[in-house]
Amino acid sequence: MQMNRKGPKPIPAIERFWPKVKKTDGCWIWTAGTDEGYGAISTTHEPDCGKKERAHVFAYKRLVGDIPEGMYVCHKCDNRLCVRPSHLFLGTHLDNQRDKLSKGRQPKGSQHGMAKLTDEQVTEIRKLYATGEYLQRELAEKFGIYQQTVSSIVRGTTWDKYNN
């Protein structure tokens, strides 16, 4: 490290980047720190950069080009740690969501992180409602959810894994 009056000169992020990438025949895997499952690199001392940047975004900017406002860097390979430019593409948030859905990567039912019900509870709600003995608001109260959620469940617009 070079010394100056303010202390050691920081190593540019691009020089710190490559030793943390394991190139394979397929993906180029980020092997250092992560943020929500994505590779992350500190860009504190880089011009026009924040303190931390996702490694695939960092790679795209430096190896492919600028990212237009409103666009995301998405993975063709669905590997959050991949930084290989040929595995990355630009898309809108909607493009990224559609890609996720088309590849079956969207958690459903009780697997979704925001789910308040189990699969068994959803089955029970449908069975109880089908008897005609319960109103949706009664089932909502019984299961601690909103009436609109019960409505979506019995109409089949949510928990669609039950809609075969």
Is there a domain that residue 164 lies in?
Answer: no
Question: What would the two tokens of residue 66 be?
Answer: 């600028």
Is there a domain that residue 47 lies in?
Answer: yes
Of the residues 65, 86, 102, the one at which a domain ends: 102
- The label of the residue with tokens 């009056």 reads 5
Q: Domains in the chain: how many in total?
A: 2
Is there a domain that residue 163 lies in?
Answer: no
Burial of 71 (0-12, 13-18, 19+ CB in 10 A): middle
- Where residue 39 falls (left for φ over 0; alpha for ψ -120 to 50; beta otherwise) is beta
Per-residue pLDDT of the chain (164 residues; tens, 9 = 90+): 445 566 677 788 888 999 999 999 999 999 999 988 899 998 876 655 668 899 999 999 999 999 999 999 999 998 999 999 999 999 999 998 888 778 776 656 665 555 678 888 989 999 999 999 999 999 999 999 899 989 988 988 776 654 43
pTM listed for this prediction: 0.63
